[in-house]
């Protein structure tokens, strides 16, 4: 599991930062990539990475402002020419269906794969045997959502050394034991599989938040998360400006992570007014509140280990 930032700027593209998009790489977990937002030129940014558009399984759009959305029709169309044949689902606020369908229809774009569009509300918006995704509405000038990605706990590891000490050789019986079944060996020995499986491996939690003022919903989404991705459009001294434009400061983001008991915070959606040393000052401000803070730049990647 890895976060790869494709665009970390706010509002308009800049030389050093493209507009918003971040990929959650789940290649080991499900052989797929999930995108969160798809600002203009996201597909160009992808060309500089190892991401394969055909592996993009889900795209989550936080809100319908252009800097989070305008790259979506192009990416969807190009995927058809890049061996993309598996289904893809776009999740987003009400209006996302009209935007995508109109753009594809007016441009005469024909997709070679099944495209599903889900207009979301608060609650569980995706759930399968490995992951669930919860959405909550944040505090922005238009409906804007944050997403809590929860990896479900994995079964504990099979205690192979203990089995081998009993003379149990590898084979189909190992699978039965790992499932916790009771098995009988050839010599009549009865083994309770539950005694030969380690404790479950705790699933990871990633919170990716859309544009927002400081709010309780952000804290709830970030609760005990391994990583929180939070906008920090403005420096701490610009609190009034941030509030007026429905955005957050560096210390707002840090306070969300602190109150949520999160393990790690990554700042993104940075205004182009902060370049060079000014950008470094942003992360210093956040660390004064929440020490384990990092500042995302375009193409930065952050692995998310277990434990």
Q: Please give the annotated binding residues for Zn(2+), written as ranges.
A: 63, 65, 67-68, 140, 211, 269
**Tokens at 207, concatenated:** 């919170």
Question: Euclidean distance between the first and final Cα of the chain, in Å?
Answer: 13
Identify the bridge partners of residue 136 per DSSP, sorted by sequence position. Answer: 146
Identify the bridge partners of residue 228 per DSSP, sorted by sequence position. Answer: 207, 265
| Rounded Cα–Cα distance for residues 307 and 303 (Å) | 12
Is 302 within 8 Å of 6 (Cβ atoms)? no
Element (H, E) at 276: none
| Rounded Cα–Cα distance for residues 191 and 182 (Å) | 6
Burial of 159 (0-12, 13-18, 19+ CB in 10 A): middle
The DSSP secondary-structure symbol of 249 reads B
Is 177 within 8 Å of 163 (Cβ atoms)? yes
Q: Among this protein's residues, is 127 annotated catalytic?
A: no
Q: Which of these, 243, 244, 232, lies nearest to 273 by C-alpha position? A: 232
**Tokens at 127, concatenated:** 């759930």
Residue with tokens 């507009």: 19
Is 71 within 8 Å of 103 (Cβ atoms)? no
Catalytic residue from among 67, 226, 252, 298: 67
**Dihedral of CA 185/188/193/196: which sign?**
negative
- Catalytic site residues? 67
């Amino acid at each position: 599991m890895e976060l790869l930032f494709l665009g970390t700027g706010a509002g308009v593209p800049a030389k050093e930062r493209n507009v918003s998009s971040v990929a959650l790489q789940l290649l080991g977990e499900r052989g797929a990539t999930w995108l969160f937002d798809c600002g203009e030129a996201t597909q160009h940014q992808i060309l500089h990475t190892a991401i394969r558009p055909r592996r993009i399984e889900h795209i989550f759009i936080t809100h319908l402002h252009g800097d989070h959305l305008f790259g979506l029709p192009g990416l969807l169309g190009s995927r058809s020419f890049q061996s993309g044949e598996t289904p893809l689902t776009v999740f987003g606020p009400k209006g996302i269906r009209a935007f995508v369908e109109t753009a594809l229809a007016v441009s005469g774009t024909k997709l070679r794969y099944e495209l599903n569009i889900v207009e979301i509300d608060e609650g569980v918006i995706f759930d399968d045997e490995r992951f669930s995704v919860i959405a909550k509405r944040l505090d922005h000038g238009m409906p804007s959502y944050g997403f809590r990605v929860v990896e479900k706990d994995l079964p504990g590891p099979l205690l192979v050394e203990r089995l081998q000490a009993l003379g149990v050789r590898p084979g189909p019986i190992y699978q039965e034991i790992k499932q916790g079944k009771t098995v009988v060996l050839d010599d009549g020995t009865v083994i309770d599989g539950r005694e030969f499986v380690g404790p479950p491996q705790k699933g990871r939690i990633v919170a990716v938040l859309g544009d927002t003022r400081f709010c309780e919903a952000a804290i709830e989404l970030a609760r005990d998360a391994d990583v929180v991705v939070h906008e920090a459009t403005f420096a701490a001294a610009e609190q009034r400006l941030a509030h007026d434009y429905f955005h957050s400061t560096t210390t707002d983001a840090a306070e969300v992570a602190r109150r949520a008991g999160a393990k790690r915070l990554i700042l993104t959606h940075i205004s182009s007014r902060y370049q060079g040393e000014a950008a470094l000052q942003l992360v210093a401000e956040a660390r004064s509140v929440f020490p384990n803070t990092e500042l995302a730049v375009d193409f930065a990647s952050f692995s998310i280990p277990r434990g």
